[in-house]
Amino acid sequence: MRGLFITGTDTDVGKTYVTAAITRQLISEGTSVGVYKPACSGAEIDEHGVPYWRDVETHFDSLNAQFDRERICPQCFKVPAAPTVAARLEQREVDESLLKSGHDWWKDRVDLLLVEGVGGWLCPVTETSLIADFAQDCGWPVIIVAPRGLGVLNQTLLTIESIRSRHLTVAGIILNQHLPPSGTIAEQTNPAELSRLTDVPILSLMDFDASKMLRRLGSQDTIDWCGIASS
Query: Which residues does the annotation mark as catalytic?
Result: 37
**Which residues pair with residue 44 across a beta bridge?**
52
**Which residues pair with residue 36 across a beta bridge?**
115
Q: Phi and psi (nearest 5°) for 165?
A: -65, -20
Helix, strand, coil share of the chain (percent; to 5): 35, 20, 45
How many Cα atoms occupy the beta-carbon half-sphere of 193 within 13 Å? 16
* Residue 192 DSSP SS3: helix
**Closest by CA position to 8, among listed 205, 115, 209, 143:** 143
**Closest by CA position to 52, among listed 82, 22, 72, 66:** 72
- Round to whole Å and give the CA distance between 34 and 64: 11
State the virtual CA torsion across 133, 88, 147, 166 in degrees, nearest 10. Answer: -10
* Residue 16 DSSP SS3: helix
Q: How many angstroms separate the first and last alpha carbons of the chain? A: 13
Amino acid residing at 123: C
